[in-house]
Structure formats: structure tokens, C-alpha cells
């Protein structure tokens, strides 16, 4: 069972010290609930994010390591160098299942090395081995993973940082390897990669050879619940058809049609070149070149919204770029060239950067006149500056807020220092509420109001009007905090919002696994508990309701084609956490 915490103290005398301890007060928690509990109770809220008092917590979900479908998400928590508040960044790929099967509820990196060495950590059934390895310095994630396969074989999963994390850039991500052992799944947001870099850890190699799947307390009930759960996912139009066929980028045409697809650094809500970069075009291109348009990012995924993107010559370039990535490097920068976007996705994954933050940053740089909107080569060159760590690259690698400040740009789309994703809050007002009030800074996954605002999943709330948005965002933020704790992929939300029997199957999965029946109220209570811990940390770190606001321009500049501004009143934003 996942009943141990693996603590690694990087500042111990004589080199890093490993201790395996019982979960203790954190028993029963997983994923985001566990990362947020550890950060809120063990990290001083005023600590420097890159200092020795910050901690990096890597936790599989409550169902990870079992045979439950969709249960392979991993949570990474710390105090964020980007927002200055608490952070949970979430990734797919293999590490969650592997770490859970090795029996660890979380891996916690503490302190920071005094010697300036760079370390690799290897974990298997026999224990933990930590070795300094300065030959890994400034390696991209792709070369790094190849090197690890050469040393440890190809039955491994890796958690790693690229040069951006080593340079402690606030946009740095943590890479997780996928089924093909490629570093394509990222815990991307909030600069978690910089915190791993500050701990002197380049890569964590996991090998679960010889370890069985985690066993449920009630195997029969668990098996029946899993079957019902998968059936529910398969029959929902989003999780059974849209996502598997066209990937997450199926949304490009949909959001563009809704007038909420931010274009040219959030100037307009529609992109003229959208058909050239849509999910439909992407899938056609992938198949024509011998790539893959439907693919799971971890074992046990049944939605299969990932893919493999080949270049014009038919060689592997990157994973299928996600909706957010295609938007940020595409429409947001006026670029309608899928190959250029795929190249930037590859560079983001290799350097270890958040694609949302980087695309938003390049949009701000274009606004500042560093490149023309639509100039794909100039955008790629800016990315390469980040990888090199030139003075300009270091500015860009610290995100949109820093870049806007350095170059004197007013229209900078960030909340709490973190860049907005691919939904304009003036056209999809519920998302604006989530961006403004999430504990994480602007984050679409924190409370995905697109469900009811645009897709009419779980009801309908008019996206252009302020009415009903507070309640919608609040309920989604609570549900999401709970889902992020289970290890489940957030995309299950479409089916569980529309199908009561699929939600029941999820409750039965959790109940039969742990031997405690679960109700909908228990899920709500868990979500509220997580959000309360996160809010408490942010308040102690100095956040007030002034941080729960969108930038002024969203209230003042009308967004074509609907010519709307963000209408939800500040006084209402302050009510999101009134439960």
C-alpha cells in the first residue's frame, strides 16, 4: 500500500539524506490534497520559493497504481516562484502509477545542496540511490531521458527538468515520461521546475519492476465499478468521441466560434487562421504523415486524447500539441503554421517550459515590438534564446508578467503573476471567475466553466452574462480539487457532470478501493478541505482579495466579435469561497 512518505533532505551534512517515514497525519490523502496539505503545514508562507525552506512534493493520486481507468495523474506541489503562493501542477504520463506501485504516497524534496552539485535519484523495489552527476548539466529533457534509458534500461519512468529548471526560470516545468518513455507530459504551471532546480535534482528515475498493482479492499465491487466507469466515459460525446478523435485541440473551432479564442495577445476573440491549426486539421496531418491521432499518455487511459506528431519528412517531432499549446504559440501570436507550433512544443518540452506561459510571454513580447505578430520564425528564435539563457532569454523564461514589466507593456494577461490560458474571460465569463479567484493564479483546470458556458455539459450558464458564474466556478473549483486528489484525469468531469451513474461509479471505485463507502458529500468535503488549506497558505503569504482580480484591461477593452467586457463585480468575486 501507499503508506510511506519518502523524504530526501538535500542539505544534510555529507550529502543528501533519505528517510522513509509513515504517512502519519497525511493518511488517506493523495494527489493535490496531499501536496497542498504538506506545503500548507510544513513550508513557512514567507519562505523564498527558491530557498531551502520551500519543499517540492510529488504525489500520486488516491487511485494511482491501481487498475482503475484514468487514474495516472501526478501532483507536484510547492510554494510557486511565479505566483508567490501555493502551487499544485498536474501531469499525466507514467510516473504516478510507478511511484504508487513502489509504495510511496509522496516523494518530498527538502533543503538544498551546499556543494552546487547536480543529482540524479534512482528508486526501485530495493530502495533509493542518490548520485551526483554533473555530466547532466544543461541537458534537454530528450537527451537526458535517452541517457537514463542507457543507464537503467527502458522499463523506467522519469521525472526531470531541462535547462530552464536548472536556470531557475519562473516558467520552468517538470517533465514526466509517457508510455514511449519520452518527456512529453509536464507538470507545467507556476515554476515548479525552478524549485526542483533549486533542490539540485536533475532527474528522478523510477522502476517498478517486480511490484504489483495496488489491490482494492473489495476486488469484486471495484472491478464492477471500473467497468461501469469506463462504459460511462465511452458513451459521452466528449470523452467517447470528441477527445479520442481530435485530441484536446478539438476545442479550437468550438471556442473560436464562441468568440472566446484569444488572438494577438488577447486583442480579439476570433482567429482568422483557426481552420489551419484546428484539431481536425491536426489529426489529418498526423495520420497523413504516419503519426498517431489517438493515443493514451499513461497506462489505463481510455479517453486517449494524446497523439504523436511527425515532421514533413515523417520523423517524430513531438507529442500531439495540446489545445492550450496550439492556442498560445498559435492564435495568441498570430501564427497559423502547425509545424512551427509543433516545433515550439518540442522546444518547450526539451527546455522544460510551460507552453501556456511561454506562448503568452511571446505574445507580450510581440506587443512590445520584439517580433511581428504572425512571424513564426521569430517566435522560434525567441524560444531558443530562453534555452540558451541569454539575458533576453532569461527575461522571457520568467514569464509574461516579468516580460511585460521589462518592456513596458500594459496589456499583460496574468493573474497572481501567472498567464491566462486559452479562453477569454470577456466571452466566457465563468472562466474569468476561475482565473481571478483560483488559489493557483490564472488556471483553466482549476474550475473549467467552459463546461456549462460553452459545451452545455452539466447545465447551461450564458457565457456573456455575469449571472450564475460565481456559483458555477465555485462548484467546479470544489469538484476539481477533489478530482485532482484522486489521480483521475480531469477529463472524466464531462461524463460525471452529465451522467449520475458514472459519478456513482467513481464513488464506488474510491469506496471499494479503500473499504469506506463514499458519497457525493464526501467528495465536496474533500474539495473544500483542499481549497481551505490553499487559501490559508496564500493569506499567510500576504495575499488579499486584491489578488483575486483580473487585469484592468478585461473590464475596459471590449472584445470583438461580441464587444463585451468582463462583467462580474469585484464584490461577487469575493463571495466565491463563501460556503
Per-residue pLDDT, averaged over 288-299, amounts to 93
Which grid cell sits at 129? 540511490
pLDDT at 1 over 90: no
What percent helix, strand, coil does the chain show, rounded to 5? 45, 15, 40
pLDDT at 329 over 80: yes
Question: Taking each helix axis from N to C terminus, what angle separates 469-486 and 520-540, rounded to the nearest 10 degrees?
Answer: 100
Q: What is the pLDDT of residue 507?
A: 97
Do the Cβ atoms of 394 and 402 come closer than 8 Å? no
Question: Taking each helix axis from N to C terminus, what angle separates 376-388 and 355-367, rounded to the nearest 10 degrees?
Answer: 120
The fraction of the chain above a pLDDT of 90, given in percent, is: 98
Q: What is the pLDDT of residue 517?
A: 96
CA dihedral sign of residues 42, 43, 44, 45:
negative
Per-residue pLDDT, averaged over 402-423, amounts to 98
Distance CA 361, CA 236 (A): 36
pLDDT at 62 over 80: yes
Multiple choice CATH, 261-421, 3.30.70.20, 3.90.1150.10, 1.10.569.10, 3.40.50.980: 1.10.569.10
Distance CA 482, CA 446 (A): 11
* Three-state DSSP class for residue 30: coil
Per-residue pLDDT, averaged over 327-338, amounts to 98
Instruction: Phi first, then psi: give them for residue 5, nearest 5 degrees.
Output: -105, 135
| pLDDT tens for each residue of 484-511 | 999 999 999 999 999 999 999 999 999 9
- At the top level of CATH, which class does the domain 218-246+425-579 belong to? mainly alpha
Residue ranges of domains in the chain:
4-206, 218-246+425-579, 261-421
User: What is the pTM (predicted TM-score) of this model?
Assistant: 0.98
Measured between its terminal Cα atoms, the distance across the chain in Å is: 34
Which grid cell sits at 405? 514589466
Q: Give 438's Cβ-side CA count (13 Å radius).
A: 34
Q: Where does the pLDDT of residue 125 fall: very low under 50, low under 70, confident under 90, or very high at 90 and above?
A: very high
Q: What is the DSSP string of 521-573?
A: HHHHHHHHHHHHHHHHHHHHTT--GGGS---THHHHS-BTTTTB-----HHHH
| pLDDT tens for each residue of 7-51 | 999 999 999 999 999 999 999 999 999 999 999 999 999 999 999
Residues 6+ away with beta carbon under 8 Å from 154 = 181
Q: Where does the pLDDT of residue 2 fall: very low under 50, low under 70, confident under 90, or very high at 90 and above?
A: confident
Distance CA 195, CA 77 (A): 10
| pLDDT tens for each residue of 461-483 | 999 999 999 999 999 999 999 99
Distance CA 489, CA 483 (A): 8
Per-residue pLDDT, averaged over 314-341, amounts to 98
Q: What is the pLDDT of residue 299?
A: 85
Within 10 angstroms of residue 1's Cβ, the number of other Cβ atoms is 10
Per-residue pLDDT, averaged over 136-155, amounts to 98
Distance CA 521, CA 523 (A): 5
Domain 4-206, architecture per CATH: 4-Layer Sandwich (3.60)
Do the Cβ atoms of 153 and 189 come closer than 8 Å? no
For 316, the enclosing helix (H) or strand (E) is strand 316-319
Which grid cell sits at 311? 515532421
Q: What is the pLDDT of residue 471?
A: 98
Average pLDDT, the chain: 97
Q: What is the DSSP letter of 2?
A: -
Give 27: exposed, middle or buried? Use CB within 10 Å, 0-12, 13-18, 19+. Answer: exposed
In DSSP terms, 133 is beta-bridged to none
* Three-state DSSP class for residue 418: strand
Instruction: Phi first, then psi: give them for residue 39, nearest 5 degrees.
Output: -65, -45
Q: Where does the pLDDT of residue 309 fall: very low under 50, low under 70, confident under 90, or very high at 90 and above?
A: very high
Distance CA 388, CA 397 (A): 10
| pLDDT tens for each residue of 188-242 | 999 999 999 999 999 999 999 999 999 999 999 999 999 999 999 999 999 999 9
Closest among 509, 427, 503, 508 to 469, alpha carbons compared:
427
pLDDT at 3 over 90: no
Strands 56-60 and 17-22: unpaired
Q: What is the pLDDT of residue 109?
A: 98
| pLDDT tens for each residue of 522-564 | 999 999 999 999 999 999 999 999 999 999 999 999 999 999 9
Amino acid at each position: 500500500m501507499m503508506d510511506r512518505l519518502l523524504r530526501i533532505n538535500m542539505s544534510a551534512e555529507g550529502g543528501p539524506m533519505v528517510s522513509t517515514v509513515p504517512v502519519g497525519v497525511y493518511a488517506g490523502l493523495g494527489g493535490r490534497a496531499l501536496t497542498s496539505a504538506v506545503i500548507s503545514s510544513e513550508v513557512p508562507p514567507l519562505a523564498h520559493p527558491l530557498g531551502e525552506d520551500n519543499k517540492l512534493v510529488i504525489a500520486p493520486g488516491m487511485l494511482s497504481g491501481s487498475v482503475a481507468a484514468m487514474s495516472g495523474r501526478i501532483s507536484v506541489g510547492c510554494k510557486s516562484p511565479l505566483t508567490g503562493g501555493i502551487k499544485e501542477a498536474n501531469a499525466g504520463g507514467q510516473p504516478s502509477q510507478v511511484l504508487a506501485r513502489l509504495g510511496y504516497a509522496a516523494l518530498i524534496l527538502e533543503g538544498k545542496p551546499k556543494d552546487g552539485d547536480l543529482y540524479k535519484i534512482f528508486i526501485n523495489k530495493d530502495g533509493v540511490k542518490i548520485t551526483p552527476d554533473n555530466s547532466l548539466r544543461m541537458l534537454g529533457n530528450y537527451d537526458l531521458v535517452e541517457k537514463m534509458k542507457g543507464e537503467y534500461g527502458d522499463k523506467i519512468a522519469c521525472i526531470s527538468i531541462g535547462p530552464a529548471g536548472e536556470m531557475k526560470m519562473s516558467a520552468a516545468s517538470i517533465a514526466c515520461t509517457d508510455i514511449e518513455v519520452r518527456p512529453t507530459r509536464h507538470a507545467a504551471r507556476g515554476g515548479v521546475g525552478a524549485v526542483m532546480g533549486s533542490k539540485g535534482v536533475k532527474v528522478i528515475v523510477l522502476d517498478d519492476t517486480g511490484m504489483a498493482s495496488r489491490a482494492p479492499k473489495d476486488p469484486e465491487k471495484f472491478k464492477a465499478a471500473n467497468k461501469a466507469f469506463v462504459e460511462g466515459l465511452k458513451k459521452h460525446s466528449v470523452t467517447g468521441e470528441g477527445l479520442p478523435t481530435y485530441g484536446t485541440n478539438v476545442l479550437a473551432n468550438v471556442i473560436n466560434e464562441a468568440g472566446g479564442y484569444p488572438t494577438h495577445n488577447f486583442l480579439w476573440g476570433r482567429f482568422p487562421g483557426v481552420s489551419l491549426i484546428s484539431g481536425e486539421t491536426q489529426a489529418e496531418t498526423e495520420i497523413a504523415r504516419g503519426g498517431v491521432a489517438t493515443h493514451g499518455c499513461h497506462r489505463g487511459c481510455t479517453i486517449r486524447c494524446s497523439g504523436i506528431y511527425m515532421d514533413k519528412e515523417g520523423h517524430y517531432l513531438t507529442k500531439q500539441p495540446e489545445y492550450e499549446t496550439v492556442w498560445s504559440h498559435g492564435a495568441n501570436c498570430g501564427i497559423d503554421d502547425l509545424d512551427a507550433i509543433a516545433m515550439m512544443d518540442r522546444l518547450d518540452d526539451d527546455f522544460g517550459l510551460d507552453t501556456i506561459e511561454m506562448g503568452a510571454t511571446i505574445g507580450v513580447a510581440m506587443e512590445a515590438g520584439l517580433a511581428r505578430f504572425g512571424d513564426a520564425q521569430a517566435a522560434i528564435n525567441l524560444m531558443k534564446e530562453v534555452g540558451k539563457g541569454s539575458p533576453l532569454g532569461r527575461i522571457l523564461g520568467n514569464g509574461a508578467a516579468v516580460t511585460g514589466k521589462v518592456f513596458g507593456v500594459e496589456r499583460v494577461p496574468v493573474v497572481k503573476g501567472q498567464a491566462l490560458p486559452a479562453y477569454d474571460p470577456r466571452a466566457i465569463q465563468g472562466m474569468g471567475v476561475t482565473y481571478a479567484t483560483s488559489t493557483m493564479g490564472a488556471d483553466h483546470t482549476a474550475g473549467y466553466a467552459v463546461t456549462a458556458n460553452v459545451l452545455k455539459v452539466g447545465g447551461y450558464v450564458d457565457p456573456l452574462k455575469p449571472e450564475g458564474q460565481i456559483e458555477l466556478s465555485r462548484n467546479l473549483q470544489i469538484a476539481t480539487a477533489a478530482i485532482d486528489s484522486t489521480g483521475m484525469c480531469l477529463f472524466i468531469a464531462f461524463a460525471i457532470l452529465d451522467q449520475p451513474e458514472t459519478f456513482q461509479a467513481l464513488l464506488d471505485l474510491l469506496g471499494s478501493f479503500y473499504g469506506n463507502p463514499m458519497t457525493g458529500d464526501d467528495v465536496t468535503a474533500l474539495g473544500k478541505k483542499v481549497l481551505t488549506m490553499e487559501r490559508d497558505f496564500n493569506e499567510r503569504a500576504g495575499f488579499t482579495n486584491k489578488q483575486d482580480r483580473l487585469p484592468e484591461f478585461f473590464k475596459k477593452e471590449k472584445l470583438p466579435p461580441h464587444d463585451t467586457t468582463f462583467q462580474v463585480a469585484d464584490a461577487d468575486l469575493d463571495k466565491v469561497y463563501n460556503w
